[in-house]
Structure 1
Amino acid sequence: MFRQALEEMKKNEAAALGNLKAKLIIKDDLFSATDENLMKFLYSRRLSVSDTLNLIQNHLKYKNENQNLFRNLSIGDPEIRTALENSLPELLPQKDRQCRTIIVFHANNWDGKISLISIYRALLLCLEFSLQDVHVQNNGFIIIVNWEQFTFQKSTWLSATIIRHMIFGLQECYPAKFLELHFIAPPWYIRAAFNVFKLTFNEEIRENFFTHGRNLSTLHDFVHKEVLPTELGGSMPSYNCAKLIQDIENFCKQVGT
């Protein structure tokens, strides 16, 4: 089914790309208007030219206003490397049954020494790495956040301003499709906070935002255990960050960052 959907998209991509290029006016060194990059934006908006033009406009404004986020967005940045070494985030090597890429955060891995902004930058780098693949561009991402053992004291490190900034950037300014968000065992203070943040989610994520208890059977109804590591009740081995770090090192050398 998903291969068929991708083939259908491919039939329409040349027309969408031509239409986009005819309407696009770029006068900014921060944006690459190559066909490859434009297709990344088009796929993230399901080939809607009007939505893609709006996304590119938002993307450029966001990058210009937040140049500190994107400066040295590389594995060479010590805080980004430390975040990835602490699996913040994890980028699972296997896709789910719908060919979606799975990003996992184990919130208890966060000891407060890494800033929330550095974790966000690590996520942005993982997205840049993943979005080299047209299948990832088309099939999108799901995010799983495991809140087990995340204490009230740790919750004070969560800046509401930064979280809103992250949600806005990822939803409105970044060429990636986020299709589902799963929270595992969120304590009451996290549930209360995200009841507020949920109002800023786009419609698709708001309708596909799921909360699970410590019994992970409901998570496995959405993401089968055959693709999940043992920490999430899956049949795959424990997550090992070394392979991702090596792959991102190679990617950064390739793109010169």
Structure 2
Amino acid sequence: MPVRPLSPELAEKARNELNETDENKMVDSLQHLKDWLAKQPYLKARTDDQWLAAFLRGCKFSLERTKQKIDLFYTLKKTAPELTPLKYKDPKFSEILDLGVSIVLPKTSNPAEPRILLMRPGLYDPNKYSLGDVMSVGAVIQNIMLMDDDNFVVAGGISIIDLQGCTMAHFAQMNPMLMKKMTVAFQEAAPVRMKGVHYLNTPPGFETIFNFIKGFLNEKNKKRLYVHNTDFESLYKYLPKEVLPTEYGGNAGTAREFTENTKKKILEYSAWLDEEHLYGTEESKRPGKPKTAEELFGVEGSFRQLQKVIMIRELSPDLAHIAKTELNEDPKQTPEDIKHLREWIMKQTHLKARTDHQWLVAMLRGCKFSLERVKEKLDLYYTLRTTSPEVTLRLKPTQPTFINFLRLGTCIILPKATTGLHPRVILIRAGRYDPEKNSVADIMCILYYMVQILVMEDDSATVIGTKIVVDYEGTTLNHLVQANVTLLRKIVAVSQDSLPLRLKGSHHLNVPSGIETIFKLVSAFISEKAKQRLKIHKSADELFEHIPKDVMPPEYGGNGATVAENIEYWITKIREYKSWMEVEERLGTDESRRLGSLPSDEAGDKGSFRQLNID
């Protein structure tokens, strides 16, 4: 069957961008490919004119590149079967298809625009389906589009990846080797020109995954990645509403309708898909050396390097300069430092600790990249989880009591400043809880877990540090008497000595009479630097000499989000991090297995953690 004629608009694009100058060039090129394929004893490939035309167009009619791409396309069927383990008649295939994980949008903004694909990986259950299962569905849809969709073949494809509902379980399926194989399949083997990828509803920690993905892409494709998160207006600057589903503010139809269209198209191509098992390579017949997974993906060589990929966000130039000059951060050395810490953690029989790269780099920055200080801080951080649960586990973030206390607004981490680089501001409203029902330790407890989210998401906080604003309005004697010496010492140990953030100042408002006693008690435990950074303000105007006005809530004379808006933001964040927090509650130390003495907390009156633990 001859190649389908292109529309006038696509024919012009093919002529200008793909070197498809005339009909004779297509005919001659197809015959050349068929003659070449007939001479390859190891290669069993489709020879449909329309199929081969897609490869020619994807390679801008370079015959040598087309041959290489066809060879690789079919070689992957043999060397990387885990990329597409499902056949289109498998029950799992139909289940994933019906979920609407991969959808083709039917409209383009003009006749020569790229085809848009919508991917919604958060719709599949990672406990039931593998990433390869999901890719199987996408691969079948792609192959049909190569046969059926001239916009896709000539103008290229644009992907919208909606990560709503994605969890750590989804991302855990993305191991380095699988990512490399996926990159080879879609960037090097498929005859598709990817014109852009747009990410929506990105979950916590996405920047880390995003940098990880970018590490596998070529420079051209890196520049075509766009992250919109929940800002659909920025998406509309690239993709007009008339081509988008109603679920995304568009008017092109519903995602369900598009899913049904895709199911019908697959049914139309069922006979064609039934032939798929006939194609691939027989490597024993390949002239010269057979192609293997080791050769293509470096299983024995470069994969070892892939396993060393450090998944941390790249700092902005300004933050990178501060990290270098103030924290001794050397990006070339950081991977080795993280590797060293991970290996050290694995050797500590008593220690159950996180080894996430982003978490460890925050610890490194908090200790100015002193490995020994990081080890002490890590050990103390998790030791306090075990030995001081009345602070660190008093409220568990996976339980309703945590959210209920958070809703009171006793502790809020305020948004970033809109201009300039500033420490993140933590607002403590010490008089907002009922001392008959809760304790000052509850404030420290919820901050303890909020800081974990801050560390994973905000490089400004880990590089520049934080400032605390404490508002004592509403504080009574019943609040103050809760601050006994032992509890204060433990709170300081948690906040000053174990958290991976640098405190750049504490600012106190509406200070009541009698608070001087508390300040004197706290002063016995905090460092000299912290004492020098403690400021008491008589008015908000004084505060704004140290804190940007645009981050403070209007309740404090600022221009930032309201207290209520900040509370709702952090309630949402805690819920987003549910799977993270479930893991977190299981971490700590088993002191019966510790070799040697407990770590120093540098907070007791003798600097002894044993002292703090006994009191």
Give TM-score, length-normalised by structure 1. Answer: 0.87
Please give the per-residue CA displacement for 1:40-74, whole angstroms capped at 9, x wherever unaligned: 11111122223212212222321221346567632
TM-aligned CA distance change 1:180 to 1:255, over 3 Å: same
SS at 2:255 equivalent:
coil
- The partner residue of 1:243 within 261, 274, 277 is 261
The equivalences for 1:102-113 within 5 A come to 102-112=116-126, 113=128
**AA in 1 matched with 2:52:** L
1:59 corresponds to 2:77: no
| Alignment match, 2:270 | 252
Superposition deviation, residue 34 in structure 1: 4.2
- Contact kept in structure 2, 1:55 and 1:174, CA below 8 Å: yes
- Contact kept in structure 2, 1:230 and 1:236, CA below 8 Å: yes
Superposition deviation, residue 82 in structure 1: 1.1
- Bigger CA drift: 102-111 or 158-167? 158-167
Superposition deviation, residue 219 in structure 1: 1.0
Structure 2: distance between partners of 1:79 and 1:96: 34
1:46 corresponds to 2:54: no
| Alignment match, 1:234 | 250
SS at 1:43 equivalent:
helix
- The partner residue of 1:11 within 7, 21, 29 is 21
| Alignment match, 1:199 | 215
Structure 2: distance between partners of 1:95 and 1:40: 19
Aligned identity (percent) is 20
Give TM-score, length-normalised by structure 2. Answer: 0.39
RMSD across aligned positions (CA): 2.6
- The partner residue of 1:130 within 136, 145, 164 is 145
The equivalences for 1:110-189 within 5 A come to 110-112=124-126, 113-133=128-148, 135=150, 136-189=152-205
- The partner residue of 1:94 within 104, 107, 118 is 107
TM-aligned CA distance change 1:72 to 1:148, over 3 Å: closer
Please give the per-residue CA displacement for 1:93-138, whole angstroms capped at 9, x wherever unaligned: 2234452111111232122222211110100000111111361311
**AA in 2 matched with 1:120:** M
1:84 corresponds to 2:97: yes
- Contact kept in structure 1, 2:241 and 2:249, CA below 8 Å: yes
Structure 1: distance between partners of 2:156 and 2:184: 17
- Contact kept in structure 2, 1:141 and 1:180, CA below 8 Å: yes
TM-aligned CA distance change 1:36 to 1:107, over 3 Å: closer
SS at 1:182 equivalent:
strand
SS at 1:200 equivalent:
coil
- Larger RCO, structures 1/2 (Cα 8 Å, 6+ apart): 1
Structure 2: distance between partners of 1:130 and 1:31: 17
Structure 2: distance between partners of 1:164 and 1:196: 11
Structure 2: distance between partners of 1:18 and 1:246: 34
- Contact kept in structure 2, 1:143 and 1:181, CA below 8 Å: yes
Structure 2: distance between partners of 1:146 and 1:78: 25
**AA in 2 matched with 1:162:** L
- Contact kept in structure 2, 1:212 and 1:219, CA below 8 Å: yes
- Bigger CA drift: 22-31 or 158-167? 22-31
* Runs (5+) with no aligned partner, structure 1: none
TM-aligned CA distance change 1:13 to 1:208, over 3 Å: farther
**AA in 2 matched with 1:92:** L
Superposition deviation, residue 176 in structure 1: 1.9
SS at 2:269 equivalent:
helix
TM-aligned CA distance change 1:155 to 1:134, over 3 Å: closer
- Contact kept in structure 2, 1:96 and 1:102, CA below 8 Å: no
**AA in 1 matched with 2:261:** K
Superposition deviation, residue 252 in structure 1: 1.2
The structure with the largest alpha-carbon Rg is: 2
Structure 2: distance between partners of 1:181 and 1:227: 16
Structure 1: distance between partners of 2:50 and 2:139: 18
SS at 1:40 equivalent:
helix
- Contact kept in structure 2, 1:100 and 1:142, CA below 8 Å: yes
TM-aligned CA distance change 1:120 to 1:153, over 3 Å: closer
Structure 2: distance between partners of 1:118 and 1:207: 28
- Contact kept in structure 1, 2:84 and 2:133, CA below 8 Å: no
Structure 2: distance between partners of 1:254 and 1:55: 21
1:216 corresponds to 2:224: no
Q: Which has the higher helix share?
A: 1
TM-aligned CA distance change 1:73 to 1:30, over 3 Å: farther
SS at 2:253 equivalent:
coil
Superposition deviation, residue 242 in structure 1: 1.7
TM-aligned CA distance change 1:26 to 1:138, over 3 Å: farther
SS at 1:132 equivalent:
helix
Please give the per-residue CA displacement for 1:12-42, whole angstroms capped at 9, x wherever unaligned: 4643663571783432453123433321111
- Bigger CA drift: 6-15 or 60-69? 6-15
TM-aligned CA distance change 1:245 to 1:134, over 3 Å: closer
Superposition deviation, residue 228 in structure 1: 0.3
